[in-house]
Homo-oligomer: A and B are copies of this chain.
Amino acid sequence: MNFSELKYNDAGLIPCIVQDANTGEVLMMAWMSAESIGLTLERGETVFWSRSRQELWHKGATSGNTQKLVDLRYDCDADTLLALVHPAGPACHTGERTCFYRSLVKG
C-alpha cells in the first residue's frame, strides 16, 4: 500500500502510535498528515502534524529528542499507524520517558 491510500479523518490526519522498538514501551500518540508521513519515510525520523500549532512538527527538532524510524505499520482498517522507533531521549515534554506515565486504575 502507498501511504496516500490510508484512511485519513475529515481533517486529513491519521493517528500514529509511537513505540520504542527495543523496549516495547508505548511512548506517545500523535497525528500525521500524508505530507508528514512522506517526510517521516524520507528522513527516517518521525514528523507529525501539530493540531495545536497547525504545522508540521519534526519531533525533537528543538529538544533534540528525535525518534529514528525502524518501521511504520498500519492496521487492518488502514486508519491507524504504529511507528517503531529508537528514541534519542524522553518522548514527553514533561521529561518522562513515555507520555503514558499516569494510571486511571492505579492512581
Contact = CB atoms under 8 A, between A and B. Distances in A.
Given A15-B15, A17-B17, A104 B73 contact: yes
Number of copies: 2
A92 interface: yes
Contacts of A73: 100-104
A1 interface: yes
Given A17-B17, A76-B96, A106 B71 contact: yes
A26 B69 CA distance: 16
Given A24-B25, A25-B24, A26-B19, A77 B99 contact: yes
Interface of A: 1, 3, 15, 17, 19, 23-26, 28-29, 37, 41, 69, 71-77, 80-82, 92-94, 96, 99-106
